[in-house]
């Protein structure tokens, strides 16, 4: 039972913010973010929806939060019961439950429950260490720390064997119950996550214009699965595959790259999209028709494109070091045309409408166009089984 991370989880859930939670728990913000990702991976479902600096609990996260809060109340009650027994007390004055919880010590104490339960079951620290996969000295140190926190001896040491004291017997019964509560909390939250994911699909998209590519595919899926609910959510192209691996999305709409052939991914090809060149009517290139795609790259004094297109052109070897200096790429492709019009730039894009491009001219590129493969990319080991079901249909 990895409950060390629950301290961080409850704090993040309370503040809806990683930075504030990190400050309360006295650790670095990247560390608490990493711990939450690790906890989500251990549990097999998302606890939070990340929204810039703020986070919101998912349905499964809210269920888990309620259960864990109850578990912690049980833990504090157990501490009080153990301390009320008069015998076998150790000399060090125990800290108050309030100060323990304020400083996070109480939560680290509950992390030692696995070691304590295992040692109590075997009546031997060495056997407990072997079962827990740690050194015997680690077991001894963790239990000594737990005893110090509780302010009483849990074991009577006799050579290599140990026996539970009266406080130990009481705490052992409570610890087993806390372990069951934790397993039940995980099961309940996982059930909520599965019920929601049974008909829900979250797709990351780079911009609103690009979503048009999904209309036909989604209409076919809705016909076969009328209960399907799709959520479209903007992603940052620079971090799209990392966020897909973190299961923030069930799929992302993107352009194919060689890494997408790895076993970690599978994809549906939606078609090929040519890169269109649009120029401001006031740009000098507007009066120079008949240039090839390569010549447009050479002659344009100011080039705007999305991050995805920039990556693709670099991979194709079409952008030189000199040309990179005059290129400005955007995370949000919906900003390309407005910004291109305002700053009289040359814009390279695959998605635009007549309305959004009304102040820009589509440049008649000569020769072969550059086409990109548009795909819907999935992660092979996703917890949500719906994508594979849809792809087979």
Domain match, 341 and 213 both: no
pLDDT tens-digit readout, 234-256: 888 888 888 888 777 889 999 98
Query: How far is the C-alpha of 175 from the C-alpha of 1, rounded, in Å?
Result: 11
The predicted pLDDT at position 82 comes to 86
Domain match, 285 and 230 both: no
pLDDT tens-digit readout, 30-87: 999 888 888 887 887 888 887 767 888 988 899 999 999 888 888 888 888 888 876 5
DSSP code of residue 50: E
Domain match, 34 and 149 both: yes
The predicted pLDDT at position 1 comes to 55
Phi, psi of 49 (to 5 degrees): -105, 120
Q: How confident is the model at residue 365 (pLDDT cuts 50, 70, 90)?
A: confident
Kindly state the percentage of the chain with pLDDT values over 90. Answer: 15
pTM of the model: 0.56
The residues pairing with 201 across neighbouring beta strands, listed in sequence order, are: 230
The predicted pLDDT at position 198 comes to 63
Domain match, 95 and 41 both: yes
Task: From 196, 218, 246, give the residue that closes a domain.
Answer: 196
Domain match, 133 and 239 both: no
Domain match, 254 and 345 both: no
Domain match, 36 and 167 both: yes
Domain match, 27 and 101 both: yes
Domain range enclosing 243? 199-271+378-392
Task: From 196, 226, 254, give the residue that closes a domain.
Answer: 196
Domain match, 361 and 383 both: no
Contacts of 31-39 with C-beta under 8 Å, sequence gap 24+, read 32/8, 35/5, 35/8, 36/5, 36/8, 36/9, 36/12, 37/246, 38/5, 39/2, 39/5, 39/6, 39/8, 39/9
Q: How confident is the model at residue 257 (pLDDT cuts 50, 70, 90)?
A: confident
DSSP code of residue 258: G
Specify the CATH number for the domain of residue 233: 3.40.190
pLDDT tens-digit readout, 96-107: 434 443 443 344
Domains of the chain: total: 3
- Return the axis-axis angle of helices 18-25 and 4-15, rounded to nearest 10°: 130
Domain match, 169 and 88 both: yes
Q: How confident is the model at residue 4 (pLDDT cuts 50, 70, 90)?
A: low
Domain match, 210 and 319 both: no
Q: Which stretch of 214-218, 369-373, 380-384 has the lowest confidence by average pLDDT?
A: 380-384
Q: How confident is the model at residue 108 (pLDDT cuts 50, 70, 90)?
A: very low
Specify the CATH number for the domain of residue 167: 1.10.10.10
Residues 332, 207: contact at Cβ < 8 Å? yes
Query: How far is the C-alpha of 105 from the C-alpha of 184, rounded, in Å?
Result: 24
The predicted pLDDT at position 262 comes to 80
The residues pairing with 54 across neighbouring beta strands, listed in sequence order, are: 17, 51
Domain match, 188 and 76 both: yes
């Amino acid at each position: 039972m990895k409950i060390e991370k629950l301290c961080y989880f409850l704090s993040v859930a309370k503040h809806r913010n990683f930075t504030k939670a990190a400050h309360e728990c006295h650790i670095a913000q990247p560390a608490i973010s990493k711990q939450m990702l690790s906890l989500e991976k251990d549990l097999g479902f998302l606890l939070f929806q990340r929204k810039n600096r703020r986070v919101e609990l998912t349905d499964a996260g809210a269920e888990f939060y309620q259960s864990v809060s109850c578990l912690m109340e049980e833990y504090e009650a157990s501490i009080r019961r153990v301390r009320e027994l008069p015998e076998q007390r150790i000399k060090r004055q125990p800290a108050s439950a309030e100060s323990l919880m304020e400083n996070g010590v109480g939560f680290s104490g509950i992390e030692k429950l696995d070691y304590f339960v295992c040692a109590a079951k075997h009546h031997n620290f060495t056997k407990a260490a072997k079962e827990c996969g740690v050194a015997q000295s680690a077991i001894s140190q963790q239990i000594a720390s737990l005893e110090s926190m509780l302010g009483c001896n849990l074991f009577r040491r006799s050579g290599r064997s140990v026996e539970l004291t009266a406080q130990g017997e009481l705490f052992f019964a409570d610890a087993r119950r806390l372990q069951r509560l934790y397993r039940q909390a995980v099961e309940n939250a996982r059930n909520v996550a599965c019920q929601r994911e049974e008909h829900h699909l979250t797709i990351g998209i780079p911009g609103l214009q690009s979503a048009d590519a999904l209309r036909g595919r989604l209409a076919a899926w809705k016909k076969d699965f009328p209960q399907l609910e799709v959520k479209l959510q903007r992603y940052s192209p620079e971090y799209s595959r990392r966020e897909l691996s973190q299961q923030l999305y069930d799929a992302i709409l993107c352009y194919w790259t060689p890494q997408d052939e790895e076993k970690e991914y599978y994809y549906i090809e939606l078609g090929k999209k040519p890169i269109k060149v649009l120029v401001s009517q006031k740009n000098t290139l507007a009066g120079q028709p008949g240039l090839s795609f390569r010549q447009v790259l050479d002659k344009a004094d100011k080039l705007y494109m999305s991050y995805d297109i920039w990556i693709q052109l670099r991979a194709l070897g079409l952008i030189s070091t000199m040309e990179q200096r005059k290129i400005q790429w955007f995370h949000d492709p919906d900003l390309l045309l407005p910004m291109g019009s305002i700053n009289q730039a040359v814009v390279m894009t695959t998605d635009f409408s007549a309305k959004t491009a009304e102040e820009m001219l589509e440049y008649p590129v000569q020769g072969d166009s550059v086409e990109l493969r548009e795909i819907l990319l999935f992660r092979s080991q996703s917890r949500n089984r719906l994508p594979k079901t849809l792809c087979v249909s």
